[in-house]
Amino acid sequence: MMFRRLLEAAIVMSMGLGAEAPIYAQTLSDELKSRSETEGLGFATFVEAGQIAVRYFDGRTADVMVPGLTGLYDVEPHGSVILGSSRGPRVSPNDFVDSMLSVNFFLFSFSGAKAGSTGLHSWPIRATLSPAHDMLAALFVDRRTHRAVLRYGQLSWISTQEVFSLELAHDEESFLAENYRGDGFSWAPHQNEIVYSRNGRVYVFDRNNGATKYLAEGSNPCWSPDGKSIAFVSPTHDLDVYDYLTRRVEQVTKSITVGGYPRWSPDSRYIMFTRSKVGNGVSASLAPTDIEVLRVSDGTRAKVLSPGLNADNSSYYWIKSSVTR
């Protein structure tokens, strides 16, 4: 009788596995490979002036030539819009970054054509498009006032609003704009809110009333495309996910050191992040890193790239497109 019950249970489990969750019977690497082949799931990164490299999880690669592109700041997941920079004559002596050159920001397509322009002419540390591609949020370092400033506005950048302003150390040894990596920030899918981090804390800024709400201790937050969750790096260098409905925080990585800048996949099922090979509490300016993908449903991880030293995936962007080799 006991043997019969065990056999029946095994049959029920195998039927459930095959009927309800066949994709989870695969390893995460196989799952990503399968979706890459059928849906074009992968990621893109800036290689050099005018060139973006696309890497699919099934091993295919593609080089996309974008004439005039000198820097990559954001990529719409389906590859239809790229936010990039193109150098030009300096516009104003009051540009945020000391340079003989200013910069023009354009919207590009993977075909290489310019798809639109912006009024942004100062060099931000980071910038991101709103989900509807009609607004920008950008983080600057102002060397005149020794402050980091996060602002947002329409693509024209004629009128902008400040989200936060942070005073930075400004002695000759420590204040170097190029050494300030900046805090992460992300638009909510409905565009009414922006999540950001400052001084080791995660906040949500409400554009409707200008109010700021504290969420959790951490840094480099990213809002999921479905609007339900916010991923961020905890003070202990774990990857945490904040459930926006229940207001609960769940730690989704264990026994690894998360470097930063988590990015959600277009369907909110995976998170791409940097894993540092240097343990917590160890300072290293040239730490070897891996780019990993985590399946949110069960915490399974897969390494997708070993870019080398001191890399962070703020330079890597999910894509789901038809770009081929």
Over the stretch 56-65, which tens digit does the pLDDT of each residue have? 998 888 888 8
Distance CA 54, CA 313 (A): 14
Distance CA 290, CA 210 (A): 38
Q: Torsion angle, CA of 52/53/54/56, rounded to 10 degrees? A: -170
Token duo for residue 283: 């300072």
The 3-class SS string of 260-305 reads: EEEEECCCCCEEEEEEECCCCCCCCCCCEEEEEEEECCCCCEEEEE
Over the stretch 161-170, which tens digit does the pLDDT of each residue have? 999 998 876 5
Token duo for residue 106: 């354009």
Over the stretch 237-269, which tens digit does the pLDDT of each residue have? 999 999 988 999 999 998 888 887 899 999 999
Average pLDDT rounded to a whole number, residues 99-126: 78
Distance CA 147, CA 165 (A): 6
In degrees and rounded to multiples of 5, residue 75 shows phi and psi of -135, 125
Q: What is the overall mean pLDDT for the chain? A: 79
Confidence grade of residue 312 (pLDDT, cut at 50, 70, 90):
low
- Answer whether residue 182 shows pLDDT above 80: no
AA letter at 145: T
Token duo for residue 295: 């399946």
Confidence grade of residue 180 (pLDDT, cut at 50, 70, 90):
low
Residue 41: CB atoms within 10 Å = 25
- For the 28-320 domain, the top CATH level (class) is mainly beta
H/E element, 222: strand 219-223
The residue behind tokens 């002695």 is 171
AA letter at 45: T
Distance CA 50, CA 64 (A): 8
What does pTM read for this prediction? Answer: 0.82
Q: Where are the domains of the chain?
A: 28-320
